[in-house]
Amino acid sequence: MMYNQTMIDALKEVQEYSEDVEQLDEGLISFMRTTAIAMNTQKSVASGKKVQQDARELRNIGNRLSAEKDPSDAQKLIAEGYKTLSSLFLHQEEMIRRHTFLTASGSLFSDRAYNLLRKIGKKKR
């Protein structure tokens, strides 16, 4: 309930201090863009941590494999290594996809925002 009320108050404040509807629309688009950037950054960092974890696991498997004498146990370790390598590639793909989303979110409507800032600057002169 409290969160909903603060969002309503924030929207009223934006409406009160906005000079026109176009400026309000730009503010909302900017807010959405910032939210998308924050969300994708958080998920990209999480994917990076998963990539690091998989890389460490691969190193551990390699160490165990080099010490293994029995061929059947070595074969099981190789299979485990392939599974971990597959997981690493999937997490890396997710991280690249999130980076692409970040780039797109950051550049989305940047030309409109620049033009709006120029327009506001002219009005203040």
72 inside domain: yes
35 inside domain: no
118 inside domain: yes
90 inside domain: yes
Number of domains in the chain: 1
Per-residue pLDDT of the chain (125 residues; tens, 9 = 90+): 444 556 566 666 666 655 655 555 666 777 777 777 888 888 888 888 999 999 999 999 999 988 888 888 889 999 999 999 999 999 999 989 888 888 877 776 666 667 777 777 777 76
| C-alpha angle 89-90-94 in degrees, rounded to nearest 5 | 115
In tens, the pLDDT along 13-43 reads 666 655 655 555 666 777 777 777 888 888 8
Domain that holds residue 84: 49-125
89 inside domain: yes
85 inside domain: yes
12 inside domain: no
4 inside domain: no
